[in-house]
């Protein structure tokens, strides 16, 4: 199904704030704390949390100092408030993190059952203040099972994260699974280590989530939405953030079983990012719809845009039936200014018979590395339908700015591509498309292969047509200079036209 762009604008303001009654009750300071960073304080901290819960809720105040602790469990209507100078420091001993089974089946249950702070099916919980939570992550080496999460919220309603610094996690920094009414504002993440899955924020099968004014520098994906259960990620707003990562900055996927719907990402900056600035990935079934991304600037990113519909078809849990083919339709990406010095090219790709549908790129400026070479005439870009989705998965691409394949209802309006070094490859290639609108494209050459029902206007580019299935391509002569059109011998002269 192709969604109208008008429908994409009708995003309800449904992400309401948690009630946060934890802040309106008692304020308890734990007794018996030892702030030397070496004495284990788990019992004293947990006793204060439990006492606060029994009193009807409130906040546990953590005063300045370094407090070593193992796993802590948040309770209903209880928050932690870390004063400036307060540090909760994760124990370096794995035995201080008991294995905890998840009540909600998801693929993340195969990673690790350990974490520093956890809440299960809790209501109105919070972690606030100006202190820090430090996972002591360098103490843990090895596979997932021996690296605890920093924070994990499972099946919770009303979660508030505000102001704190989260750092040095051994695994994902924070994971929210099947939660509702989540508010994350003004936090800092500092957990930039290679090969230890240091995702900054993982929102997984959640509803009504707001993330704002966050500063994230991490080793794995900075803000990543997942759907590792059969439930979707839905009604999510992310804005005013600063992101840097060794992987992708803003990402939907890789796990997509439950799908994504009604997502907004806006007004943010991305820098020093080693994979994709924006990655939208559907490979494990599910439906992606109504995604709106706007006003994003990127500096020193490997690949600005990566949109992928594949068919890895991994089930939620081992032994479950493989999910059916997913769908990817209804994405608006506006107001992007990105600079990349990498040879990895932005791409929008489906697979044969299953196109990426109804995508609008508008007011996009990509400054790319260039310096490539024309590929051999018989070069074929691999399909890789079952592969893990990654911006570099196709290897060298025949375009130097944007490569699109297996798409329907694609609109490129006000797209400018500049190459830092001369590059003879086309700026944009669109291959196997049905319904293509191009307006105000600025680059060198536009190449269309097997494109049906295309309209090209106000675009100062040379147009190369190829593919025997090319049909109904209209090129407007609305520039001061007549359009240059080169059609391959397999393209019928009746399949394209230049019109005023």
pLDDT digits (tens, 9 = 90+) for 407-416: 999 999 999 9
In whole angstroms, give the CA distance from residue 498 to residue 500. 7
- At 99-139, the pLDDT tens digits run 988 888 787 777 888 999 999 999 999 999 999 999 999 99
Is residue 60 pLDDT above 50, yes or no? yes
* % the chain with pLDDT above 90: 86
Q: How would residue 480 be classed by pLDDT, with cut points 50, 70 and 90?
A: low
In whole angstroms, give the CA distance from residue 307 to residue 288. 11
Is residue 25 pLDDT above 80, yes or no? no
Residue with tokens 């920093």: 150
Which has more confidence, 19 or 463?
Answer: 463
Between 13-22, 86-95, 198-207, 246-255, the lowest mean confidence (pLDDT) is in 13-22
* % the chain with pLDDT above 70: 95
| pLDDT mean over 176-195 | 96
CB distance 138 to 219 below 8 Å? no
- At 323-359, the pLDDT tens digits run 999 999 999 999 999 999 999 999 999 999 999 999 9
Domain ranges of the chain: 19-220
- At 1-23, the pLDDT tens digits run 333 433 333 333 333 344 444 44
What pLDDT, on a 0 to 100 scale, did the predictor assign at position 105? 75
In whole angstroms, give the CA distance from residue 395 to residue 399. 12
Which has more confidence, 35 or 482?
Answer: 35
* pTM for the predicted model, two decimal places: 0.93
- At 277-289, the pLDDT tens digits run 999 999 999 999 9
Tell me, rounded to whole angstroms, the distance of Cα 416 from its chain centroid.
24
Q: What is the DSSP string of 213-246?
A: S-EEEESS-SEEEEE-SSSPEEEEEEES-EEEES
Mean pLDDT score across all residues of the chain = 93
184: closest CA among 223, 231, 143, 135?
Answer: 223
CATH 2.160.20.10 fits 19-220, yes or no: yes
| pLDDT mean over 56-74 | 98
CB distance 343 to 370 below 8 Å? no
What pLDDT, on a 0 to 100 scale, did the predictor assign at position 482? 75
| pLDDT mean over 66-71 | 98
282: closest CA among 389, 392, 407, 361?
Answer: 389
């Amino acid at each position: 199904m192709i969604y109208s762009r008008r429908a994409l604008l009708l995003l309800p303001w449904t992400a309401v704030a948690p009630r946060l009654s934890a802040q309106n009750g008692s304020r308890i300071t734990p007794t018996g704390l030892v702030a030397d960073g070496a004495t284990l304080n788990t019992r004293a901290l947990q006793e204060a949390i439990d006492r606060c819960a029994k009193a009807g809720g409130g906040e546990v105040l953590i005063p300045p100092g370094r407090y070593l602790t193992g796993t802590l469990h948040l309770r209903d209507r209880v928050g932690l408030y870390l004063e400036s100078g307060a540090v909760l420091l994760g124990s370096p001993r794995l035995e201080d993190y008991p294995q905890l089974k998840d009540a909600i089946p998801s693929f993340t249950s195969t990673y690790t059952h350990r974490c520093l702070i956890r809440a299960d099916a809790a209501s109105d919980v919070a972690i606030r203040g100006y202190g820090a939570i430090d996972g002591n992550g360098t103490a843990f080496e090895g596979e997932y099972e021996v690296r605890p999460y920093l924070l994990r919220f499972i099946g919770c309603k009303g979660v508030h994260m505000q102001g704190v610094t989260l750092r040095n996690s051994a695994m994902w920094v924070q994971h929210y699974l099947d939660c509702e009414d989540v508010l994350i504002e003004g936090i800092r993440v500092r957990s930039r280590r290679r090969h230890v899955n240091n995702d900054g924020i993982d929102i997984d099968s959640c509803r009504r989530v707001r993330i704002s004014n966050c500063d994230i520098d991490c080793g794995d994906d900075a803000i990543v939405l997942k759907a590792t259960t059969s439930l979707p990620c839905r009604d999510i707003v992310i804005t005013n953030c600063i992101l840097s990562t060794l992987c992708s900055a803003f990402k939907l996927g890789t796990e997509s079983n439950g799908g994504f719907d009604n997502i907004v990402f806006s007004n943010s900056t991305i820098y020093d990012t080693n994979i994709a600035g924006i990655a939208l990935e559907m490979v494990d079934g599910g439906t992606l719809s109504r995604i709106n991304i706007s006003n994003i600037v990127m500096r020193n990113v490997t690949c600005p845009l990566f949109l992928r519909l594949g068919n890895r078809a991994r089930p939620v849990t081992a032994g479950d039936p493989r999910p059916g083919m997913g769908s990817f339709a209804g994405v608006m990406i506006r107001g992007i200014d990105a600079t990349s010095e990498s040879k990895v090219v932005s791409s929008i790709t489906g697979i044969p018979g299953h196109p990426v549908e109804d995508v609008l790129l508008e007011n996009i400026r990509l400054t790319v590395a260039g310096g490539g070479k024309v590929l051999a005439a018989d070069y074929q870009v691999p399909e890789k339908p079952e592969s893990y989705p990654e911006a570099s998965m196709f290897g060298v691409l025949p375009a130097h700015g944007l490569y699109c394949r297996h798409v329907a209802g694609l609109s490129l309006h006000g797209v400018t591509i500049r190459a830092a070094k001369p590059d003879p490859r086309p700026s944009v290639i669109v291959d196997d498309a049905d319904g293509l609108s191009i307006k105000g494209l600025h680059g060198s050459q536009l190449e269309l292969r097997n494109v049906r029902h295309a309209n090209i206007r106000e675009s100062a580019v040379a147009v190369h047509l190829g593919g025997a299935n090319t049909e109904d391509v209209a090129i407007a002569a609305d520039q001061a200079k007549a359009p240059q059109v080169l059609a391959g011998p397999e393209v019928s002269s009746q399949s394209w036209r230049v019109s005023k």
